[in-house]
Homo-oligomer: A and B are copies of this chain.
Amino acid sequence: MFQISDIDHLLPFILKPDNIARFEIVGNSPHVVIGDRSKYPLEKSFVHCESVEAVAVAIEQMVTQGAGPWQAAVCALALAGHETVSMDREAALSHLRAAQARLVATRPTNTAMARRLEMAMEAAVLALNEQRPVDKAIIDWLAETRRNIYADYAKRGRLGANLIEDGDGVLTMCFAETSFILAVAMAQEDGKQIHVYTPETRPFLQGAKLTAPSVHELGVPVTLIGDNMASSLMAQNKIQKYFTAADLITVDGHVVNKVGTFQHAIAARYHNIPYYAFAWGLDPNRPDRASIEIEMRDPNEMKQFKGHPTTHPDIEALYPAFDITPPELVTGIVTKNGVFQPDEFGASYQ
């Protein structure tokens, strides 16, 4: 059976589960340790929280992002569970429900946060009913959930690594997280020489802050470029494959991902470079392009860099968070079940 320890050596610092968030009891003092992504890559540091409220505030202050917030929240629920040890059942339930409500409120529009916490609560209630330790039940649930998630990452990473050939220049966009990083790490482990090119990804610079240091940590050559430079490298035959994550893939194969993904896909097609997207699953409520609404983020983000203005304050700006790449530009969608044509994607999970 797959264990996360099987792939631990292929994971850079910020993708190791214990560095995302963990529940610890040191002496008699329980606390939640959260990897501080806001300081990465200049610092590899952690935020130590001794209460549910402290974890909630850390999540609200964007100490962690991506898959981090729900894992930190589940660790905070374990902390609340630890505090129920001398309570009666009713008081314990009430204490846990209060913690759950506070944690869900940190990300009111993120359904993954609410869903994961509800599942962790089910494990907690079962432990209460059976008079087992509640904190351990929640942490065991987290470990098993993580094991399943990383098993899927490993399957997609293996499929991605098989698509990469020796000598390839690999373009990505934003931070394609564990599936992509594992694909790169496994391709290297297979003995393939590769070179990763990562656009910085304005305005939040996930490419510069997260992707480039993660790939560098694996010992794979990586070059940071501007969001305006990939086509120039393609014309010089420096890029042979293009891989991204996907925030969502519609049932009919439209890839919704960080803005800029689309223009690289157009340029890749122009240069006959295949484009592959990693899928985390299938959402039957998103059948097609018309079912997607692109989130428009605060335009002020485009007028500054970490608080330093880039233009005159009167200038208007626009920040669409995502764009949509149509299936005709997508060579393949990498799922845990295989690599599928976009028009096969809807059926691939059946």
Contact = CB atoms under 8 A, between A and B. Distances in A.
Interface in A302-331: 302-303, 305-306, 308-312, 314-320, 323-324
Contact of A317 (B224, B227, B231): B224
A319 B259 contact: no
Interface stretch (A175-183, A197-205, A279-287): A197-205
Contact of A270 (B208, B213, B266, B308): B266
Contacts of A274: none
* Total copies of the chain: 2
A142 interface: no
A223 B202 CA distance: 16
A200 B302 contact: yes
A209 interface: yes
A232 interface: yes
A276 interface: no
B213 A226 contact: no
A228 B266 CA distance: 12
Interface in A181-231: 199-203, 205, 208-209, 212-213, 216, 221-231
Contacts of A267: 263, 266-267
Given A303-B224, A308-B305, A266 B231 contact: yes
A42 interface: yes
A235 interface: yes
Contact of A200 (B230, B270, B308, B310): B310
A139 to B, nearest CB: 32
A231 B326 CA distance: 12
Contacts of A205: 310-311
Given A306-B308, A323-B232, A259 B212 contact: no
B320 A232 contact: yes
A173 B308 CA distance: 22
Contact of A208 (B201, B294, B310): B310
A324 B229 CA distance: 11
B312 A212 contact: yes
B226 A319 contact: yes
Given A227-B227, A259-B229, A267-B266, A202 B200 contact: yes
B312 A42 contact: yes
A228 B227 contact: yes
A260 interface: yes
B302 A305 contact: no
Contact of A318 (B227, B229, B262, B317): B229
A17 interface: no
A310 B226 contact: no
Given A226-B260, A235-B324, 18 more contacts: A173-B228, A202-B228, A213-B315, A221-B316, A224-B311, A224-B317, A225-B318, A228-B258, A228-B259, A228-B263, A229-B323, A231-B262, A231-B266, A232-B262, A233-B318, A235-B262, A305-B305, A305-B306
10 contacts: A173-B228, A200-B310, A202-B226, A205-B311, A212-B311, A223-B318, A225-B317, A227-B227, A263-B267, A305-B306
Nearest 9 A/B pairs, CB to CB: A228-B260, A231-B263, A227-B228, A232-B323, A41-B312, A208-B311, A224-B317, A227-B227, A208-B310
